[in-house]
Amino acid sequence: MTALLSILVLVFILVAIWQMVKIFDLTQGKTAGSDNQVANDQDNKINGYLMLGFLIFIYVITIMCFVMFGDFPLMSNSASEHGPGIDKLMIISMIVIFIVQTITQFLLHYFAFKYRGEKGKKALFYADNNKLEAIWTIIPVIVLAVLIIQGLFTWTSIMNVNEDNDPLIVELYAQQFNWKARYGGEDNTLGKANVRLIDIDRANILGLDEADLNAQDDVITTELHLPVGRPVLFKMRSQDVLHSAYMPHFRAQMNCVPGMITQFGFTPTVTTEAMRETPEMQDKVQNINKIRIEKSKVLVAKGEEGLDPYTFDYLLLCNKICGKSHYNMQMKIIVETQEEYDVWIKTQKAFKNSLVEN
Amino acid sequence: MSAHADTHDAHDDHHHKETFVTKYIFSQDHKMIAKQYLITGTIMGVVGVMMSLMMRMQIAWPEEPNVIFQALLGKWAPEGVMDADIYLALVTIHGTIMVFFVLTAGLSGTFSNLLIPLQIGARDMASGFLNMISYWLFFISSVIMVLSFFVEAGPAAAGWTIYPPLSALPMAQGGSGAGMTMWLVSMAIFIASSLLGSLNYVVTVINLRTKGMSMTRLPLTIWAFFVTAIIGIISFPVLLSAALLLIMDRSFGTSFFLSDIFIQGEVLHYQGGSPVLFEHLFWFLGHPEVYIVLLPALGITSEIIATNSRKPIFGYRAMIASILAIAFLSTIVWGHHMFISGMNPFLGSVFTFTTLLIAIPSAVKAFNYITTLWKGNLQMNPAMLFSIGLVSTFITGGLTGIILGDSALDINVHDTYFVVAHFHLVMGISALYGMFAGIYHWFPKMFGRMLNKNLGYVHFWVTAVCAYGVFFPMHFIGMAGLPRRYYTNSNFPLFDDLQDVNVVITVFALIGGAFQIVFIYNLFSSMFFGKKATQNPWKSNTMEWTTPVEHIHGNWPGEIPHVHRWAYDYSKPGHDEDWVSQIVPLKDGEEELQH
């Protein structure tokens, strides 16, 4: 039935187009022959003005996007030490893009309008100008050189992990479709591990080497707690397919690759509590909760359960396609004071105590 | 056969009559093969676009049952609710079809085949037989790709990049079973087709140019097709090898890409391989592929903008140089897809540097297009509109490449919708516009009839508005951190405030998609009922317009004309008309431009 209906709709659309074409053709009866499918002065004029209109459309959509969506807090509120560096570079790049975009789109569409064809007009025979070519080769070179140098400094400072400043070592362990975190315990050293050592019956789910002394005090959790202000060095592993540990609030991302250990380090600077209290975040949460209340009303009317109100938390998301439930592979990140962190980590079981004897 | 093209007498054809099969199905005539590519590519395009519309509807209204899903997806959408696996399959096959089957084969296949012999003055391709094989391999691979939707566990669903281990292990994902096998087989055949085509293009351009057609008199279209074919020959075999190694890992127990895997309660035997190796091999094709898609579109627009501006293309030599520079750089930038793959960060620095260099020849091209318009006498034919549209989306999409190519910035926007917006504008929409422009411009040459221009105008303006409506706001949800390839975002209250934007994007996509019907209608109805075309409707200089409207085997009756000038003598002082065909000899005392 739906198939029949869709075919009918399609047929009606085709008939409508055919009718419109006939009307168009009738209004243009004067020019006969095949030439009436080539643009004439009137077409040039209409489309020239439309080009001008389109330029305005591009500007309007640009302004609207910046006004309406430009303040999504992820752009402005970074919560890591290197975050502001990335954000600054992002803003510089955006300004460059904005300027170039505004000027070039203007020239393109304005010329299309200004020089729209007219019968009897002759175009300027102008094939070459080495000076002009040199100018618009050199200007991009200079602008790009600045951006490249800035970018490389930022990149190197982020990626060069400094192990001298006693970072907290945390393993992020990915599997379809959840995350685990492993802390080194008292000695801040991760025990050896390999997926071949996984023993589900003994609850050795991450494949730690039970004989390794360093592994004994390791702590495995399903929430990621980080003390504020202390550098963290993440060691990433995956047990099955590629995943990507994406922590957008910290401007951090690294793939988790089966068979190798990847790493990424940063220093969290804002606790979860403090982030919740920033005015931008409060606005965002308020806005989201308004949306959720509206949605809940619809759901409740349908006899379903409403949605819980939202409180902000940092998140670790999977950002590399990893299978069916990729869209729901997440872990909560809690940034807290060193004291709070110490209390929390004490309540967690050490690896040697979490094993099940068989 | 065509090596003897000059001595070949076109009148031969009247003696051995062609049958329906040799003329329309197993044709060796480049003009017919171009039409075959066009029609197959268009059909694949309709399939690919419909998949994207289903994805968009799923993202905008994730919880609501949808009759369209039920009708088109059958068992994959019980009660009209889309299955999460089939969403990923749609993502995968949409990407594969659009990149390879529409914008590589559909675009290059159609216009390289049509224009190379006609614009360089050759009777046909160097090998008509290989050309025919190339098309039919493409056809077979298309059929296999579409049929993969009908296997029990679903088609390939690991993304068009098919990164192992996800694509290698059937237990990791339903689509990685028979569906992935079909994907790999289809792509292997596709690559064979593409290589045969590319070799043919290169050989033809080098050997079969008519007298006087020096390399510096070639239209920019031919330069673009020629360089594209070379990039294809360099990079496609690498994808083939990656696919073969993946087949080995999947079926014969080798460990090229796999190591240390524990899945569904058991440890697999693989040891010592690395998925990162696959990423390198894949992107060694994957990135040049972007330019395989884009360069022909840029070549086509160079030609169309010059013709319709009634002006020479500005900076002919600079245009060639930038094509060559882009082609060279495109083979040494693949690592910018892998900044956060776990490869050495120093490599990331190198690839940032090479990647941002590409912006320079791209900027030169954009400025040259704009200068070509300056003080022109612009004829706003639909082909011209699409060409201007291409320059616009090429700039908008290309500029955000500055952000994505910068490794430090890529950390936070990698694999978000920002990337989706970027590449759809800069290569998807741009190349599609190039293809549309080419179709509107050369339709009279292909079918001897005109496309309806008013339908063309409607098609362009609605498409142009919708393309920006879809992809411009998409940058912003990407900057807000929304990852791509999520079946639904409703598990993340964090993204609830982006849902409205997603609905707006979907509405634009649906309108834009629906209006492609106007184009499809125009294409197929004009083939049979369009106004009869004259020999040179756009008053163009290039050689294809000196052939008769009715196609003949061998292209020119009698001898092939010789070439006496470059392709861009539009509005040249000293001539009455504002165009001078390439086959017109220089007047006494007339100088050929030092280009």
Provide the residue-wise pLDDT of chain B in tens; the chain has 595 residues: 344 444 444 444 444 567 888 888 889 999 999 999 999 999 999 999 999 999 999 999 997 888 889 888 888 998 889 999 999 999 999 999 999 999 999 999 999 999 999 999 999 999 999 999 999 999 999 999 999 999 988 999 999 999 999 999 999 998 999 999 999 999 999 999 999 999 999 999 999 999 999 999 999 999 999 999 999 999 999 999 999 999 999 999 999 999 999 999 899 999 999 999 999 999 999 999 999 999 999 999 999 999 999 999 999 999 999 999 999 999 999 999 999 999 999 999 999 999 999 999 999 999 999 999 999 999 999 999 999 999 999 999 999 999 999 999 999 999 999 999 999 999 999 999 999 999 999 999 999 999 999 999 999 999 999 999 999 999 999 999 999 999 999 999 999 989 999 999 999 999 999 999 999 999 999 999 999 999 999 999 999 999 999 999 899 999 999 999 999 999 999 898 899 999 999 988 888 875 5
Query: Which of A123, A236, A254 is facing B578, going by the closest CB pair?
Result: A123
Q: Residue A303: what pLDDT?
A: 86
What integer best gives the mean pLDDT of chain A?
90
HSE on the CB side for B38, CA within 13 Å? 24
Query: Which of B378, B381, B489 is facing A38, going by the closest CB pair?
Result: B381
Distance from CA of B215 to the nearest CA of A (A): 18
Cβ(A249)–Cβ(A79) under 8 Å? yes
Q: Residue B257: what pLDDT?
A: 96
Question: What residues 83-112 of chain B have any CB closer than 8 A to a CB of chain A?
Answer: 84-85, 88, 91
Q: Residue B291: what pLDDT?
A: 94
**Residues A157-216: tens digit of each pLDDT:** 999 887 788 899 999 999 999 999 999 998 999 999 999 999 988 899 999 999 999 999
| CA–CA gap between residue B128 and residue B125 (Å, rounded) | 6
Regarding whether A269 and A186 lie in a shared domain, the answer is yes
Residues of A in contact with B501 (CB under 8 A): 69
Regarding whether A201 and A113 lie in a shared domain, the answer is no
Q: Residue A305: what pLDDT?
A: 86
Query: Which of B260, B364, B450 is facing A34, going by the closest CB pair?
Result: B450
Residues of A in contact with B375 (CB under 8 A): 115, 123-124, 126
Write the CATH number for A217: 2.60.40.420
Distance (Å) of CA B83 to CA A14, A220, B226, B485? 32, 33, 44, 14
Flag whether A20 is in a domain.
no
B476 touches chain A (CB under 8 A): yes
Q: Residue B12: what pLDDT?
A: 47
For A320, the domain range is 168-275+308-354
Q: Residue B9: what pLDDT?
A: 46
Residue B127 is classified by DSSP as -
Q: Residue A20: what pLDDT?
A: 73
Q: Residue B10: what pLDDT?
A: 44
Cβ contact (<8 Å) for B345 and A252? no
Chain A residue closest in CA terms to B483: A319
Query: Which of B71, B340, B531 is facing A254, going by the closest CB pair?
Result: B340
Distance from CA of B18 to the nearest CA of A (A): 30
SS3 letters for B218-269? Answer: CCHHHHHHHHHHHHHHHHHHHHHHHHHHHHHHHHCCCCCCCCCCEECCEECC
Flag whether A24 is in a domain.
no
CATH architecture of B29-257+272-546: Up-down Bundle (1.20)
Cβ(B421)–Cβ(A171) under 8 Å? no
Residues of A in contact with B269 (CB under 8 A): none
Please give the tally of structural domains in chain A: 2
Regarding whether A114 and A192 lie in a shared domain, the answer is no
Q: Residue B1: what pLDDT?
A: 38
Residues of A in contact with B476 (CB under 8 A): 65, 69-70, 72
Flag whether A72 is in a domain.
yes
Distance (Å) of CA A340 to CA A228, A331, B358? 10, 19, 50
Cβ contact (<8 Å) for B318 and A194? no
Distance from CA of A263 to the nearest CA of B (A): 8
Flag whether A56 is in a domain.
yes
Residue at a domain's end among A99, A118, A137? A118
What integer best gives the mean pLDDT of chain B?
92
Cβ contact (<8 Å) for A74 and B480? yes
Q: Residue A29: what pLDDT?
A: 55
Residues of A in contact with B353 (CB under 8 A): 148, 152
Q: Residue B594: what pLDDT?
A: 57
pTM of the complete model: 0.94
Cβ contact (<8 Å) for A322 and B166? yes
For an interface test with A, give the residue of B367, B412, B522 to mutate (most A CBs within 10 A).
Answer: B412
Tell me whether 0.90 is exceeded by the ipTM: yes
Regarding whether A261 and A114 lie in a shared domain, the answer is no
Beta bridge partners of A318: A245
Q: Which conformational region is residue A196 in: left (phi greater than 0), alpha (psi within -120 to 50 degrees), or beta? A: alpha
* Burial category of A213 from C-beta neighbours within 10 Å (exposed 0-12, middle 13-18, buried 19 and up): exposed
Q: Is A241 a residue whose pLDDT tops 50?
A: yes
How many A-B residue pairs are in contact by the CB < 8 A criterion? 412
Alpha helices in A117-193 (DSSP H): 130-159
Flag whether A129 is in a domain.
no
Span A138-152, average pLDDT = 92
**Residues in Cβ contact with A247 at an 8 Å cutoff, skipping those fewer than 6 apart:** A253, A314, A315, A316, A317, A333
Instruction: Provide the residue type at B200 as one letter.
Output: N
Q: Residue A54: what pLDDT?
A: 97
Instruction: Provide the residue type at A32 as one letter.
Output: A
Regarding whether A186 and A69 lie in a shared domain, the answer is no
Residues of A in contact with B370 (CB under 8 A): 104, 107-108, 111
Flag whether A28 is in a domain.
no
Q: Is A68 a residue whose pLDDT tops 90?
A: no
Regarding whether A225 and A337 lie in a shared domain, the answer is yes
| CA–CA gap between residue B149 and residue A246 (Å, rounded) | 32
Question: What residues 411-430 of chain B have any CB closer than 8 A to a CB of chain A?
Answer: 411-412, 414-416
For an interface test with A, give the residue of B72, B83, B166, B420 to mutate (most A CBs within 10 A).
Answer: B166
B274 touches chain A (CB under 8 A): yes
Regarding whether A239 and A176 lie in a shared domain, the answer is yes
pLDDT band per the 50, 70, 90 thresholds, residue A27: low
Q: Tell which residue, B65, B452, B44, has the closest CA to residue A43.
A: B452
